[in-house]
Amino acid sequence: MSWPARAPLPLAPPVRLLLPLLLLLLLLLPAQARAAPVSIAYFLQISEPTLALLPRLLRSVYHDDNLYVVHFDKKIPLWQRRHAETILFKGSPRYKHNVRLLPSEVVTYRGISMVLNLLSAMHLALDAHPDWTYFINLSGSDYPLVSVHNQMSLLASRDFSARNRSFFSFAEPDWWKDSKRFRYDRLYTDTSLSFNDSESAVVDSYSDQPISDVAAFTFAAAEAWMILHRDFASFVLGDSYARRMLLAFAYSLEPEEHFFATVAYNHPRFNTSNVSHSLRHVAWMHHGVHSGQHPYYIDQQEPDGKTWTFREEIENSACFFTRKVRVQDSGLLTYIDTHVNGISDNPNSITVNAYLAKVNKALDCVVDMPNGAYGGNCFGSEKPLKPSPSKPKSKNVKS
């Protein structure tokens, strides 16, 4: 793979004369319009139910200047993974240039192997591409509400990349304690730590986590969706503080929601640079009813078979991505491409710009929020995230 250097273009004489004027104009523009777009490493973590959603997702977030790391869960049968790879690279010859496959690992839902898999992806991304600035973690059921080009510009705007800021959706503070009680006070083992590929479950030991009461760090409650600055990614992979914290979370439940946020919240190098929202729209509530353990599917339809239940909510979310998508190529995705992110061939520029204005307004709101603050209030429809009481598979229970 080669990353073409961008050679400065020679300037023609009339342009040279205009240059001071152009520079003056540039200085008069607001800072956010000026910064060069940053490049992004996207990680697409694919499980069996989301295999069919991958080709469209990759197409919709693809851009030559970015890096794409794709992972197929090892629990997906080998022939199916091979087939998915073949289909993927048939999508476009350009993919060869910047789409990388992460060798398959077993990923246990709600277990530490989700964190380990994300760390593997960050490692590959840091090795493969010299200059991405942000790392965005996606699953097959995410879908963009902002075009990639605009994502690259918006992450370069304000003080985000200038201050190496990472984005986390922290939960409301009164839930941090509950969350710790449900997920950290007992020891839970992700059986994929056995190195046995047929093992993938989180098992409750029903014994206390001895360090829970004495932990001198603050257990941070957040969502598993993040936008991480390269500086934070390098820190998480290479620093001994992060390594020790990883072990402190190895036998916990849902560590993917707490490990990264806890490192960022507690370490003095990052606790003054967080942004309190991960720019993801997740539908947890509908007509006052909590969805339970899993969020609602955003492509759910009303009984009339014509109305997309969450369409308006999506249009007010002001986020970069929505989830969870269940249906491949649904009319809702076509609608989003035309009216929201504008990546279709015939976008409606009025609604696309209106959505972008909402995103800018939300970013202006969240940019100065305090550390660990609940950023959801800046984002139209976002509803609070509650920790769910844990019910992992219980075997080998000792009483």
Host H or E run for residue 70: strand 67-72
Q: Which two tokens stand for residue 243?
A: 């390594």
Q: Applying CB under 6 A, which part among 51-59, 137-145, 167-175, 374-382 lies near ligand NAG?
A: 137-145
Cβ burial 224-256 (10 Å sphere, 16+ → b, else e): bbbbbbbbbbebbeeeeebeebbebbbbbbbbb
268 binds ligand NAG (CB under 6 A): yes
| CA angle, 382 then 384 then 386, to 5° | 145
Residue nearest to ligand NAG (CB): 371
Among 120, 133, 137, 390, binds ligand NAG (CB under 6 A): 137
379 binds ligand NAG (CB under 6 A): no
* Binding pattern for the stretch 88-127 against ligand NAG, x by CB under 6 A and - elsewhere: --------------------------xx--x---------
Among 2, 13, 21, 198, binds ligand NAG (CB under 6 A): 198
Q: Report how far residue 142's alpha carbon sits from residue 20's, in angstroms, rounded to the nearest whole number.
A: 45
The minimum distance between CB 273 and ligand NAG, in angstroms, equals: 5
Q: Report how far residue 140's alpha carbon sits from residue 191's, in angstroms, rounded to the nearest whole number.
A: 24
Q: Under a CB-based contact definition with an 8 Å cutoff, are residues 140 and 46 in contact?
A: yes
Among 56, 231, 383, 386, binds ligand NAG (CB under 6 A): 231
Q: Under a CB-based contact definition with an 8 Å cutoff, are residues 44 and 130 in contact?
A: no
Among 69, 84, 142, 376, binds ligand NAG (CB under 6 A): 142
Q: How many CA atoms lie within 13 A of 48 on its CB side?
A: 11
Among 54, 224, 264, 378, binds ligand NAG (CB under 6 A): 224
Q: Report how far residue 279's alpha carbon sits from residue 145's, in angstroms, rounded to the nearest whole number.
A: 10
274 binds ligand NAG (CB under 6 A): yes
Report 1-20 residues binding ligand NAG (CB under 6 A). Answer: none
Helix (H) and strand (E) counts for the chain? 14, 13
73 binds ligand NAG (CB under 6 A): no
Of residues 76 and 338, the one with the C-beta less far from ligand NAG: 76
Among 10, 20, 30, 370, binds ligand NAG (CB under 6 A): 370
272 binds ligand NAG (CB under 6 A): yes
Of residues 139 and 341, the one with the C-beta less far from ligand NAG: 139
Q: Site for ligand NAG (CB under 6 A): how many residues?
A: 26
Q: Report how far residue 323's alpha carbon sits from residue 332's, in angstroms, rounded to the nearest whole number.
A: 12
Among 45, 133, 209, 390, binds ligand NAG (CB under 6 A): 45
- Tell me whether strands 186-190 and 202-208 are parallel, antiparallel or unpaired: antiparallel
Of residues 118 and 325, the one with the C-beta less far from ligand NAG: 118
142: nearest Cα among 30, 60, 28: 60
196 binds ligand NAG (CB under 6 A): yes
Count the helix, strand and coil residues of the chain and give each as a percent rounded to the nearest 5: 40, 15, 45
164 binds ligand NAG (CB under 6 A): yes
| Neighbouring C-beta atoms of residue 390, cutoff 10 Å | 18
CA 146 to chain centre: 14
Of residues 273 and 338, the one with the C-beta less far from ligand NAG: 273
Q: Under a CB-based contact definition with an 8 Å cutoff, are residues 228 and 260 in contact?
A: yes
Q: Which residue has the tokens 């607001």?
A: 30
Among 139, 157, 189, 322, binds ligand NAG (CB under 6 A): 139
The minimum distance between CB 242 and ligand NAG, in angstroms, equals: 14
368 binds ligand NAG (CB under 6 A): yes
Of residues 187 and 228, the one with the C-beta less far from ligand NAG: 228
Positions that interact with ligand NAG (CB under 6 A)? 45, 114-115, 118, 137-139, 142, 163-164, 196, 198-199, 224-225, 231, 256, 266, 268, 271-274, 368, 370-371
